[in-house]
Amino acid sequence: MFKGERIILPESLQDTAIQLAHRGSHMGQSGIERRLRYHFFFHDMHPKVKQFVESCKECNMFSDKKTSEPIKAHEVPRKCWETVAVDLFGPMPSSKHIVVVQDLASRFPAAKLVASTKASHVLPAMDEIYNSYGNPEHQLSDNGPPFNSEAMEAFAQKRDIHLKKIPPLHPSANPVETFMKPLGKTMKIAHYNRSSEKEALNHLLMNYRDTPHPATGIPPAAMLFREGSKSAFPRRSVPAEQVEEARGKDKAMKQDRQDQVNASKYKIPSEFQIGDDVMLRNYRKSSKFDPVFLPENCEIVECSDDGRFLTIERKRDGTIFKRHPDDVKCYYGPHDTVMERGVISDEAIENGEWHRWFEQCRPKVDDSYESGNQDEEDKQETNHVEPGHENGGEVSSANDCPGSCIPRRSQRLRRPNPRYIDYEM
């Protein structure tokens, strides 16, 4: 049976056709649908193709996610130097790094040059910074060295600082990354001009602290110290009313930015649940031919309340990972209905046995009709009965037909054209 020039495909052969269209090239969902619609017609093609592609492990491994998690801005602290963000910049050509500490309320930065990322070099620099400006209540950082060391935990416990972590391998969640852009530009220019790294860093810190921040409209130094700081320009004090207005402006700007970014159609909140089978993003790619997501099967064991963390267990050895939802993809596995139906194996396709299902799609035509037997044709027209009433008026079941999986072709009564009623045909 045809619909226009396309074959109406029986339900028993639909999964096989999808498998043949997907096999080898691992074409995507839209490509498979276009190819199938060019040759066949059947209902629910879109959900069936989508289900088949989502169950393909290789397609999940080598295709990236099209959507990402909506952003969520950090809350503005009520007090200056209450919450700080910490990160490391480098390595630079001199093999040195820069440890940066920035206040989230005033945007006041502090930075020190260190020889390496070891805790023995980073902690003394942070100790000097905290001795100058005081101990914060919260310290936000990634989970890289040395912030994941026992020495850092002892350092924070000694100073009564609560350590907070951002999602691993997700640097955009750390607010101090915005300061890394001007810092990187300054260090590159200093290296190009063969200037002193320490002198360039001090110039950047002084100018950045004395420049009004776009979110607050107040220089970070003036918001932190209230009386401002003396530099090449005159000192200006900031009243308390202006500080409160700056906090409101900062909060409104963050909300506007969040709404603007989340308005994109590619920002869709994930719906991960405990027990879901997932795949983790591959961050150890050595070439572009490595998979985007690792093939190892994992399971979600915990979801954070704010949706920023997923605790995942690898089924092979029970290793626990913490990841951001953008680095996790659901894996549905081979669906039962896809495997139970008449899907032929790859070996059968290699041996050329694929033609057996295609032959079933061809309409059954009586040999007498093909031979041009006009008497049989006239007899069929004279003894015409309605479809489904061939057995004495009883409706025949689908099991009575030897080709029950094949749509039957209905008969029609041919009437002579009234225009030629006076002629012998």
Rounded to whole angstroms, the Cα distance separating 26 from 167 reads 32
How many domains is the chain partitioned into structurally?
3
- The most confident of the ranges 98-102, 222-226, 236-240, 304-308 is 98-102
Is 72 within the bounds of a domain?
A: no
Q: What is the mean pLDDT of residues 214-218?
A: 89
What radius of gyration, in Å, describes the C-alpha atoms of the chain? Answer: 35
pLDDT tens-digit profile of 140-183? Answer: 998 888 998 999 999 999 999 999 998 888 888 899 999 999 99
Which pLDDT value is given to residue 425?
54
7 and 89 share one domain:
no
Rounded to whole angstroms, the Cα distance separating 159 from 303 reads 30
How is residue 47 written in tokens? 């959900």
Which stretches within 142-219 are classed as H helix?
A: 150-159, 177-192, 197-209
Angle at 243 between CA 241 and CA 246, to 5 degrees: 110
Q: Which among 31, 50, 40, 36 has a CA at the least distance from the CA of 10?
A: 40
How is residue 10 written in tokens? 């029986």
237 and 326 share one domain:
no
165 and 195 share one domain:
yes
240 and 137 share one domain:
yes
Q: Which residues pair with 279 in a beta bridge?
A: 329
49 and 175 share one domain:
no
| Residue 317 pLDDT exceeds 50 | yes
Is 138 within the bounds of a domain?
A: yes
Rounded to whole angstroms, the Cα distance separating 362 from 405 reads 12
List the strands of the sheet with 138-141, edge to edge: 109-114, 97-103, 83-89, 138-141, 162-165
Is 235 within the bounds of a domain?
A: yes
Give me the CATH number covering residue 51. Answer: 1.10.340.70
pTM: predicted TM-score of the whole model, two decimal places: 0.67
Rounded to whole angstroms, the Cα distance separating 345 from 343 reads 7
Is 214 within the bounds of a domain?
A: yes
Which pLDDT value is given to residue 242?
82
- To which residue do tokens 């990634």 refer? 142
Range in 54-68, 220-234, 296-310, 317-331 the model is least confident about: 220-234
DSSP state of 267: B
158 contacts 152 by C-beta, under 8 angstroms: no
Task: Name the pLDDT band for 285 (thresholds 50, 70, 90).
Answer: confident
- Which structural domain, as residue segments, surrounds residue 44? 2-55
Rounded to whole angstroms, the Cα distance separating 188 from 402 reads 79
Range in 71-85, 112-126, 219-233, 356-370 the model is least confident about: 356-370
Rounded to whole angstroms, the Cα distance separating 207 from 127 reads 24
Give me the CATH number covering residue 151. Answer: 3.30.420.10
177 and 306 share one domain:
no
250 and 317 share one domain:
no
| Higher pLDDT among residues 16 and 370, named by residue | 16
Give me the CATH number covering residue 312. Answer: 2.30.30
Longest dimension (CA), the chain: 115
Q: What is the DSSP string of 285-348?
A: -SSTTS-SB--S-EEEEEE-TTSS-EEEEETTT--EEEE-GGGEEE---S-HHHHHSSPPPHHH
Which pLDDT value is given to residue 240?
78
Is 61 within the bounds of a domain?
A: no
Calculate the average pLDDT of the chain: 80
287 and 221 share one domain:
no
Range in 107-116, 198-207, 389-398 the model is least confident about: 389-398
259 and 182 share one domain:
yes
143 and 291 share one domain:
no
Is 418 within the bounds of a domain?
A: no
Q: What is the mean pLDDT of residues 64-69?
A: 87
Is 144 within the bounds of a domain?
A: yes
192 and 259 share one domain:
yes
Is 268 within the bounds of a domain?
A: no
122 and 247 share one domain:
yes
